[in-house]
Amino acid sequence: EYWIDGDRNKQRRLDNQPWNAEKIRKRVLKWSIFVVISFIIANVFLAYLIGSDKLIQYIKDGPLEHTGTLFPLIIFTAVFYFVFAWFREQVCIIACPYGRLQGVLLDNKSIVVAYDHKRGEGENGRKKFRKGEDREALGHGDCIDCLQCVHVCPTGIDIRNGTQLECVNCTACIDECDHIMESINLPKGLIRYASEDEIEKKEKFKLTARMKGYIAVLVILIGVLFGMLLLRNDVEATVLRLPGQLYEHKEGDIISNVFTYKLINKTTKTIENVSFKLRKYKGEIKLVSNSNTFTVPEQGLAEGTLFIEIDKKDLDGDKNKLMIEVYSGDELKETTTVNFLAPRSYH
């Protein structure tokens, strides 16, 4: 918006000027960019809901082939455009919970966008600037009450009243105040990033026990995240009993249970020659297919039905926990467990 419309003063002039060629050109360009960005964000959000592969397939098929998805996409685009074009900072004030959460997280040592009231107010308060006047001798602070910090604030707050819920930390007030201070030959930094203790007690920034605790928690969470990413299996296997089925007692005292399986390939390579094997128990796993091996496509899934058959004498009671190993050739990819049901023994 700054690139197209200019700074705040130029934007105000553009808003107030009649609809001429310049205003139409800038408005159409800006709104078009907002629509494109909104459409991209809506597609990313849709990809999160339905999966990127399915979204790409929908795009290849054409929008009219999937009107049930097209209309929500248009609605999301309109919502995001509404936020960009008009609602803007009101999202931070009304919808975003961070403004309310920060009241719990902040203390006197927290660094925020702050007005240095000690320097700005002086002994006798702020006063309009007069050239050649000795403000320090008169007891007035460096704030000349120009209200520029209020005018440039997108949420319309006065930062001189302290930290407020509506502050979105855009630092527009800092830039404007520094510009004013330079123009009247006063030091910059009347509004700056600072803590309450730095302003009141002139304390330099240092890590507090609370900050160290937050850093430790953050490091632990990041470590856990990276650990999960590095240690995760290439394949996620789920084997579940077919609903409503118990067991089948076959010839030769063989007990059979039926299960459904689902394998998710988390890699970008096809996993071939996939098979199931039992750990500990002697038995046989039979897939409901022409072969006992199959392929899982890259970033895809494979699902089907399988039977597990075990001799009754090898079972311990009516409920047995089986470990099923998933192999790709001779390489173990994943291990999962299922409950295998059998006739209850009364001896």
Task: Among 201, 224, 250, give the residue marking a domain's end.
Answer: 201
Please indicate, yes or no, whether residues 249 and 333 belong to a single structural domain of this protein: yes
Please indicate, yes or no, whether residues 326 and 245 belong to a single structural domain of this protein: yes
CA 61 to chain centre: 29
Please indicate, yes or no, whether residues 153 and 68 belong to a single structural domain of this protein: no
CA distance 39 to 44: 9
What pLDDT is attached to residue 234?
86
Any domain includes 98 = no
Mean pLDDT of all residues in the chain?
A: 90
pLDDT in tens, 184-199: 999 999 999 999 999 9
Any domain includes 135 = yes
Any domain includes 241 = yes
pLDDT in tens, 278-313: 998 889 999 999 888 999 998 889 999 999 999 998
Exposure of 78 in the CB half-sphere (CA atoms within 13 A): 6
Is pLDDT at 345 greater than 80 in this prediction? no
Is pLDDT at 99 greater than 80 in this prediction? no
Determine the average pLDDT of the residues in 9-15.
87
Range of the domain at 61: 2-87
Task: Among 153, 183, 201, give the residue marking a domain's end.
Answer: 201
Please indicate, yes or no, whether residues 125 and 30 belong to a single structural domain of this protein: no
pLDDT in tens, 21-54: 999 999 999 999 999 999 999 999 999 988 888 8
What pLDDT is attached to residue 347?
45
What pLDDT is attached to residue 76?
93
Are the beta carbons of 299 and 313 closer than 8 angstroms? Answer: no
What pLDDT is attached to residue 268?
87
Higher pLDDT pick, 36 / 315: 36
Please indicate, yes or no, whether residues 61 and 158 belong to a single structural domain of this protein: no
Any domain includes 224 = no
Task: Among 157, 185, 201, give the residue marking a domain's end.
Answer: 201
Percentage of residues of the chain with pLDDT beyond 70: 99
Element of type H or E holding 277? strand 271-279
**C-alpha distances out from residue 118 to 61, 95, 141, 147, 231, Å:** 65, 34, 8, 18, 54
What pLDDT is attached to residue 107?
84
Its pTM stands at: 0.60
Percentage of residues of the chain with pLDDT beyond 90: 56
CATH number, domain of 314, equals 2.60.40.10
Any domain includes 100 = no
Any domain includes 95 = no
Any domain includes 225 = no
189: left (phi over 0), alpha (psi -120 to 50) or beta: left
Is pLDDT at 78 greater than 90 in this prediction? yes
Please indicate, yes or no, whether residues 112 and 74 belong to a single structural domain of this protein: no
Determine the average pLDDT of the residues in 249-276.
93
Please indicate, yes or no, whether residues 83 and 112 belong to a single structural domain of this protein: no
> How many domains in the chain?
3
Structure tokens at 61: 């098929």
CA distance 265 to 318: 34
What pLDDT is attached to residue 193?
95
CA angle 197, 203, 204 (to 5 degrees): 120
pLDDT in tens, 133-189: 888 889 999 999 999 999 999 888 999 999 888 888 899 999 999 999 999 999 999
Please indicate, yes or no, whether residues 178 and 249 belong to a single structural domain of this protein: no
Please indicate, yes or no, whether residues 12 and 47 belong to a single structural domain of this protein: yes
Any domain includes 168 = yes
254: helix, strand or coil? strand
